[in-house]
Amino acid sequence: MKIVIAPDSFKGSLSAAEVCAAVEAGARRAVPGAEVVRVPMADGGEGTLDCFVAARGGDLVEVAATDPVGRPVKAAYALSGDGRSAVVELAAASGLPLVEDAPDPLGAGTAGTGELIADAIRRGARDVLVCIGGSASTDGGTGLLRALGVRFLDADGVELPPGGAALARLAAIDDAGVPDAVRDARFRVACDVTNPLVGPEGAAAVFGPQKGADPAQVRALDAALTRFADVLDATFGVRVHDLPGAGAAGGTCGGLVGVLGAEPSPGAALVAEAVGLDGALDGADLVITGEGRVDGQSAGGKVVSAVAALAKDRAIPAVALAGGVTGPLDELHGLGLTAAFSIADGPRTLDALKAEAAPLLTALADQVVRVFVVGRPPTPPAAG
């Protein structure tokens, strides 16, 4: 019997790898001889680099980069063992926490993330997963793109300064200096939100305030991003104004799609692909996934739904184990989730559930796998 364990972390209590270990212990209690494959998962946010390294070997590579306001910062990305694939988290070099002491909503940029990508490409990566969200900037990803050789020019042909506000003066985008290695690379973007680039639901209006923008600055940034989108359209024939997800990380997704032809997708599906979950499911009898709380949101491109969808494709039952389970779960069932269970073994505080998460998870996995085994058709005797 083969069991694949592919959970997200339980935020605030267990990493995805710890969830795997606790579930495996329970599964082995129920079926000591089971083949168990652990595939710690993530949705493009926290923990993604660790999952990638666990699945693909390789290492974290630390780079001296530029923070959102131009200061030096050390940041890491993940490079696969074969050096061909990389995962870069935008928050590492361009995240909002880096500028808590110096918010600059108009001028903050994404250069550091571009420097990490450039380093990965220099080392041979041609498949780059960029996980975006949690940014300090609203620059449309222009800082990132500049680090890869793109130039953003005003009407006099002069390079614009960093930051989103300057894009109000954008007249031309020049990608002639982008090296072949960058052009040859495949970029995929895991976005943390589905907001469009501009307008009332856009990057500036919705996420500008948390980066320090006042209402007048939000209006200025929205107008600047609109200008950016217009020039992208005129230059590359790609319209990103209303593209779902284009507004992620201050419009970084829009810039990556427009200039590099990047492909935006929900994070968990991209991580599943990057860690090879599909292959791990070969011949599996049961998939166990999970996250801190399974709820209505879990259907929206999160780990549980991505795992359930892959399992459904192969007609493998998929069970989610979670700290809390709050319905309605109809959508998740429709996506392929067989059932979801909470680790709670009685009335408990959240703190107590978090403190006891590992042993409770082991006990629950044991019970769930026992039921699964009983419900299986008996294995036919071997031929001959």
Ligand X SMILES: Nc1ncnc2c1ncn2[C@@H]1O[C@H](COP(=O)(O)OP(=O)(O)OP(=O)(O)O)[C@@H](O)[C@H]1O
46 binds ligand DGY (CB under 6 A): no
Radius of gyration of the chain (CA): 23
Q: Do residues 218 and 209 make contact, with C-beta atoms less than 8 angstroms apart?
A: yes
Q: Give the Cα separation of 328 and 337 in Å (integer).
A: 13
CB of 28 to ligand DGY, least distance (A): 39
Among 119, 207, 291, 362, which residue interacts with ligand X (rule: CB under 6 A)?
291
Binding partner of residue 353 among ligand DGY, ligand X, none, CB under 5 to 8 Å per kind? ligand X
Residues 6+ apart with CB under 8 A from 27: 3, 5, 34, 36, 288, 365, 366, 369
Q: Among residues 64, 234, 350, 371, which is the contact residue for ligand X, using CB under 6 A?
A: 350
Cα(172)–Cα(150) distance, integer angstroms: 11
* CB proximity list for 179: less than 8 A, separation 6 or greater: 121, 148, 149
State the Cα–Cα distance between residues 65 and 362, nearest whole angstrom: 42
Dihedral pair phi/psi, residue 113, rounded to 5°: -65, -40
Closer of 208 and 336 to ligand DGY (Cβ): 208
Residue 305 C-beta: closest distance to ligand X, Å: 11
Stretch that binds ligand DGY, among 34-42, 62-70, 248-256, 268-276 (CB under 6 A): 248-256
Please tell me the count of residues contacting ligand X according to CB under 6 A. 14
Reduced to 3 states (helix: H, G, I; strand: E, B; else coil), residue 45 is: coil
By CB under 6 A, is residue 300 in contact with ligand X? no
Q: What is the DSSP letter of 140?
A: T
Nearest alpha-carbon partner for 267 in 239, 316, 304, 241: 304
Indicate which of ligand X, ligand DGY, none lies near residue 249 (CB less than 5 to 8 Å, by partner kind).
ligand DGY
Stretch of residues binding ligand DGY (CB under 6 A), selected from 71-79, 181-189, 246-254, 284-292:
246-254
Pairing of strands 59-66, 72-79: antiparallel
Instruction: Tell whether residue 10 is a contact of ligand X (CB under 6 A).
Output: yes
Is residue 2 a contact point for ligand X (CB under 6 A)?
no
Residue 317 near ligand DGY by CB under 6 A: no
Cβ-based burial of 18 (10 A; exposed 0-12, middle 13-18, buried ≥19): middle
Indicate the residue among 134 and 143 with the shorter CB distance to ligand DGY.
134
Distance (Å, rounded) from C-alpha 203 to C-alpha 254? Answer: 10
- CA–CA distance, 298 with 280 (Å, rounded to integer): 22
Query: Which of residues 249, 260, 272, 303 is near ligand DGY by CB under 6 A?
Result: 249
CB nearer ligand DGY, residue 58 or residue 264: 264
- Report the distance separating Cα 98 and Cα 236, nearest Å: 33
Residues 147-186 that bind ligand X (CB under 6 A): none
Show contacts with ligand DGY in window 182-201 (CB under 6 A): 192-193
291 scored as a contact of ligand DGY (CB under 6 A) = no
258 binds ligand DGY, rule: CB under 6 A: no
| 47 lies in the binding site for ligand DGY (CB under 6 A) | no
Closer to ligand DGY by Cβ: residue 51 or 248: 248
Q: Any contact of residue 265 with ligand DGY (CB under 6 A)?
A: no
Q: What is the DSSP letter of 158?
A: P
Contact between 354 and ligand X by CB under 6 A: the answer reads yes
Residue 92 binds: one of ligand X, ligand DGY, none (C-beta under 5 to 8 A by kind): none
Q: In the numeric block, which tokens belong to residue 207?
A: 């996420």
CA-to-CA separations, 197 to 45, 170, 288, in angstroms, rounded: 20, 16, 36
Of positions 10, 52, 77, 207, contacts ligand DGY by CB under 6 A: 207
If binding is defined by CB under 6 A, does position 52 make contact with ligand DGY?
no
Work out which of 357, 364, 365, 368 binds ligand X, going by CB under 6 A. 357
Closest CA to 66 of 147, 156, 174: 147
Of 1-9, 130-138, 269-277, 341-349: span binding ligand DGY (CB under 6 A): 130-138
User: Counting contacts by CB under 6 A, is residue 226 touching ligand DGY?
Assistant: no
- Shortest Cβ 12–ligand X spacing (Å): 5
Which residues here bind ligand DGY, judged by CB under 6 A? 133-135, 192-193, 207, 248-250
